[in-house]
A and B are shown apart, each in its own frame.
Chain A
Amino acid sequence: MATAGLLRIAARNLRRNLRRTLITGFAISGGLGLMIWTDNLSEGTYSGLIRRGVSEQAGHVVIQADGYQSDPDMHRLVEGAHAVEQTVEQAVRTVAPDARVVSRVTVQGLLQSARNTSGVALLGIDPEQEATISTWHQKVVEGGEWLTKGDDRSVILGEKLAETLEVEPGDKVVLMAQGEDEVVSRLFRVRGLLRTGVAGIDGFMALTTLGAAQGALEREDAATMVTVHLSDPTMVPLAVSTISAAVPTDRLEVLPWQEALPEMYQFTVMDRNSARAMFFVIGVIVAMGVLNTVLMSVMERVREFGVMLALGTRPSQVFRVILLEGVLLGAIGALFGLLMGALATWPAMTYGIDYAAMMGDNVDVGGVTVDAIVYSKWNWPGTAAFCLMAWLMTILSTVWPAWHAARLEPVQAMRRT
């Protein structure tokens, strides 16, 4: 009953100086809206980065020869890759029926044209399967063609690599790589050029069929890695444990993408943490503003609090009146902040934000291209946490003024003008 009376006074006090309440509320909701918008944009960036990294560099789960992660020697291979692929596929589909499993072979070597020579990282893939997983096939420059299965004499070169070698689609190049025992050379015809925007890929990478890469290593049924691609990334831990139970872990290591692509994972973790630190600073600045406003408003009402205390209101009830003002102000600020965050996020989710002009050619994280157009993605737990934080910090910033008011002596307080 008394709480209803205190709530009424708190609400009226907020309405009494509406302009001040609106300015304070706007500071809270503006800060919160900015946090929500930024967090959702970061979430979209991480999501795109992880999606690309997972599809092009590894998989949600990677199976490779034991020790490859710490020492990526190209001859440290998954033996009997076809059988491993089948075993993995069978196992993972018990927990993720739409999972896709592909093998990849990486060969380090030299690529020679009629005019020049360059180091190359040749990636052997299954062209048909790969086209359903990664976006390599969409990045073949006009005039070239994507690989076809069984065409073991074709290669797609990174655009900058082709420039170095001074070749174009239709030209021939020779790969020299360390085979099982001796140097192996293979002749390829350039089928197309790849433009990703990542210097490390465009300048040194080439794609060919799985069979061709295996041939270059003189290892018919071997792969550098067997990769698993899931439609639901939250299934990764379950998939890892399921696959680990199905494959011989004494000679194979089963890694989640976070371990297979540590540089990229660390980037997302660090970036997220630095963003959270920045959000905390924004929160503290807004809370200081709220504290200042509430303190000012308490100082203006000392006489009123004196009257309330004289009439028999307990100090704890005076404390609650001011705390309730914080509860209401924080709730209004959080609500409008959520609305502002949602309104700002919506266009960034629908149309994306085009960073092309700012990014130039070399924006990548751990060899993964950052999309030129970034689409925001709702991070609901983050949004809920920010709203709760804004609300709690507003309430917290009223504690000191409330404590000050509760300690007033009624006689002295009523003398104030």
Chain B
Amino acid sequence: MATPIVSVRDLKRTYQQGQIEVHALRGVDLEIGAGEFTALMGPSGSGKTTLLNQIGALDSPSSGSVMVGGEELSGMDKSARSDLRLNRIGFVFQAYNLIPVLSAYENAEFVLMMRGVSEKDRRERVMATLAAVGLEGMEHRLPGELSGGQQQRVAVARAIVGQPALVLADEPTANLDSKTGNDLIDLMRRLNADQGVTFVFATHDPKVMEAARRVVSLVDGRIESDQHK
């Protein structure tokens, strides 16, 4: 395996739902190398999204450790986690989650702007990324003026424009029709192959699992299998 970008050790996450303790992760060990195209699969409630949120520094573990790009996440304060997400991780969400008041261009530009990249560099990188995801000519459209597939492409552009070490995608094709979903998977495969972007998916979609070079299967908060193709 290449140098691990993600290193998870004995990760446990327990939630309290009223009187009941929910063990979402029951001790997960996982390493993901640079340039991998990995799918986390499993039934609902298996812990895929929880694991993705832990890797993405969106949630804190109950115990265990998560390292991203060599940085240990536990012990980081909110601002440090924000900075890590901004600089090292790209996100693609199931419901696109674009900022509705910003155009496709501005949504993709958002991360670079928050990083303080100069306007000239932002323009070059955003235009190149939008072209790479096939959205040339749609830069000025607001999310409401784009189809679901186009919105998800903007979300992918936003996730990769900052050249993060890792892109985390939570059910990226779940809201898309079959053809649009296939197109999106092809796009991400291409970005993985051409630009070396590391992708980790949480998915139910057999097409994503088919496209993935590694499939990690989760059941009841534990890794059941880890297959490299």
- A interface vs B, CB < 8 Å? 1-2, 4-5, 8-9, 12-13, 15-16, 303-304, 307-317, 410-411, 414
User: What's the least CB distance linking B1 to chain A, in Å?
Assistant: 27
Partner of A307 from B78, B97, B113, B114 at Cβ < 8 Å? B97
- In the complex, chain B residues whose CB is within 8 Å of the CB of A8: 102, 106
* Contact indicator per residue, chain B 12-44, by CB within 8 Å of chain A (1) or not (0): 000000000000000000000000000000000
* Contact indicator per residue, chain B 103-114, by CB within 8 Å of chain A (1) or not (0): 000100011011
- In the complex, chain B residues whose CB is within 8 Å of the CB of A5: 110, 113-114
A311-B158 CB under 8 A given contacts A2-B116, A4-B113: yes
User: What's the least CB distance linking A80 to chain B, in Å?
Assistant: 80
Once bound together, how far apart are the Cα atoms of A314 and B85, in whole Å?
10
The answer to whether B79 touches A312, judged by C-beta atoms less than 8 angstroms apart, is: no
The answer to whether B85 touches A1, judged by C-beta atoms less than 8 angstroms apart, is: no
User: What's the least CB distance linking A147 to chain B, in Å?
Assistant: 76
Q: Which of B58-112 contact A (CB under 8 A)?
A: 58-59, 78-79, 82-87, 89, 91, 93, 97-102, 106, 110-111
Once bound together, how far apart are the Cα atoms of A293 and B77, in whole Å?
32
The answer to whether B101 touches A9, judged by C-beta atoms less than 8 angstroms apart, is: yes
Q: Is B192 part of the binding interface, using a Cβ–Cβ cutoff of 8 Å? A: no
The answer to whether A16 touches B100, judged by C-beta atoms less than 8 angstroms apart, is: yes
Once bound together, how far apart are the Cα atoms of A12 and B116, in whole Å?
20
User: What's the least CB distance linking B129 to chain A, in Å?
Assistant: 15
The answer to whether A12 touches B102, judged by C-beta atoms less than 8 angstroms apart, is: yes
Partner of B99 from A1, A2, A308 at Cβ < 8 Å? A308
Q: Is B182 part of the binding interface, using a Cβ–Cβ cutoff of 8 Å? A: no
Once bound together, how far apart are the Cα atoms of A8 and B105, in whole Å?
13
The answer to whether B97 touches A312, judged by C-beta atoms less than 8 angstroms apart, is: no
The answer to whether B102 touches A9, judged by C-beta atoms less than 8 angstroms apart, is: yes
- In the complex, chain B residues whose CB is within 8 Å of the CB of A307: 93, 97-99
CB-nearest residue of chain A to B90: A311
The answer to whether B82 touches A414, judged by C-beta atoms less than 8 angstroms apart, is: no
The answer to whether B101 touches A13, judged by C-beta atoms less than 8 angstroms apart, is: yes
The answer to whether A310 touches B113, judged by C-beta atoms less than 8 angstroms apart, is: no
- In the complex, chain B residues whose CB is within 8 Å of the CB of A4: 113
The answer to whether A317 touches B114, judged by C-beta atoms less than 8 angstroms apart, is: yes
User: What's the least CB distance linking A387 to chain B, in Å?
Assistant: 28
User: What's the least CB distance linking B117 to chain A, in Å?
Assistant: 8
Once bound together, how far apart are the Cα atoms of A13 and B102, in whole Å?
10
Once bound together, how far apart are the Cα atoms of A2 and B116, in whole Å?
6
- In the complex, chain A residues whose CB is within 8 Å of the CB of B102: 8-9, 12
CB-nearest residue of chain A to B114: A2
A314-B79 CB under 8 A given contacts A307-B99, A411-B53: yes
- In the complex, chain A residues whose CB is within 8 Å of the CB of B97: 303, 307, 310, 414
CB-nearest residue of chain A to B49: A411
The answer to whether A315 touches B113, judged by C-beta atoms less than 8 angstroms apart, is: no
- In the complex, chain A residues whose CB is within 8 Å of the CB of B116: 1-2
A311-B86 CB under 8 A given contacts A8-B106, A410-B58: yes
10 A–B contacts from the bound complex (CB under 8 Å) = A1-B113, A15-B101, A303-B97, A304-B100, A307-B93, A310-B97, A311-B110, A312-B82, A312-B111, A410-B58
Known contacts A2-B115, A311-B158, A314-B83, then 6 further A-B pairs from the complex at CB < 8 Å, ordered by chain A residue: A2-B113, A4-B113, A15-B101, A307-B93, A312-B85, A314-B82
- In the complex, chain A residues whose CB is within 8 Å of the CB of B115: 2
A310-B110 CB under 8 A given contacts A1-B116, A315-B82: no
Once bound together, how far apart are the Cα atoms of A307 and B102, in whole Å?
13
A310-B101 CB under 8 A given contacts A1-B116, A411-B53, A411-B59: no
- In the complex, chain A residues whose CB is within 8 Å of the CB of B85: 310-312
Once bound together, how far apart are the Cα atoms of A313 and B115, in whole Å?
9
Most buried by A among B82, B85, B87, B100: B82
